[in-house]
Amino acid sequence: MKIKNLKKISLKNHPTISENYIQEEIINDPTILNLGELIVRDKERRQPGAGRIDLLLEEVDSNRRYEVELQLGRSDESHIIRTIEYWDIERRRYPQYDHIAMLIAEDITSRFLNVIQLLNGNIPIVALQLEAYELGDEIGLSFTKIVDELNFGLIDDDEESKISVDRDYWVDKATPKTVKHTNKMFDLIKEIDDQLKLNYNKHYIGLMKNNKANNFVRFRPRKKHVQLNLRLEKSEEIDEKIEESGIEALDYDNRSSSYRLQIYEEDIENKKEFITDILKRAYDNWNF
């Protein structure tokens, strides 16, 4: 095996590659950003009186959106202003989503990083450094996360911020069958703690105990399955148990420290033991 030194190049000074070219590469395969499974909601999205968002990305099976500002070469003050401005406009227009400001640039200076770190206590910002390398006649792209949003308490843990709905809302949004599946899993939870109650909210079905949120698990009924979010620290043991169970799993949510499983009707009967075990683990982790 031979080890080859890669030649790093500047895309800003490249004769043929432009910002639009990189934008299209991300659109064709958003996984190159190494942020999990993303879909592209829009590109060059016009903002009232504030230019255009380069890209609007959204996580699969999540309410999280990324407002992306892409810059070849060195970042400067105008980029962070645009990034925050676009984020602020989108979160005001679409408050039902969890919005993250994202800057992608080739050179993010130390001064710029200091500014982002100061703002990151109040504004969720992600910064990715873009690097390009020559590979013969081809060019390889690498995206490295150098600033991540801070792990705040989730809005669903703030009881005064909740938008309450009822069971019928979820029956209409999903299906009567998947809401029934949610109730079956809640029956398993009641065997762990019979003081817990279902708490219907606009974006998820959570739990309450003594009139306080106790969201070690959240349910999101869909048309064909229920997405089960479990507040558990990621571990090899749990990863192996999920893989052995055969239950379909989405990417681990690092921001909320949650496993995300897709539970189908047959899983509730055929994999009841596993579901009960992982619900108990989440309960013990949250209520220790």
Q: What is the pTM of this model?
A: 0.53
Identify the DSSP state of 60. T
Tell me which of 191 and 126 has the higher pLDDT. Answer: 191
Which range in 14-18, 98-102, 137-141, 188-192 is most confidently predicted, on average pLDDT?
A: 188-192
Q: How far, in Å, CA of 27 to CA of 127, rounded?
A: 18
For residue 153, pLDDT over 50 is answered with no
For residue 109, pLDDT over 80 is answered with no
For residues 36 and 84, is the Cβ–Cβ distance under 8 A? Answer: no
For residue 188, pLDDT over 60 is answered with yes
Given this model, what pLDDT does residue 163 score?
62
Helix (H, G, I), strand (E, B) or coil at 171: helix
Identify the DSSP state of 161. G
Domains of the chain are 7-147 (3.40.1350.10), 155-286 (3.90.1150.20)
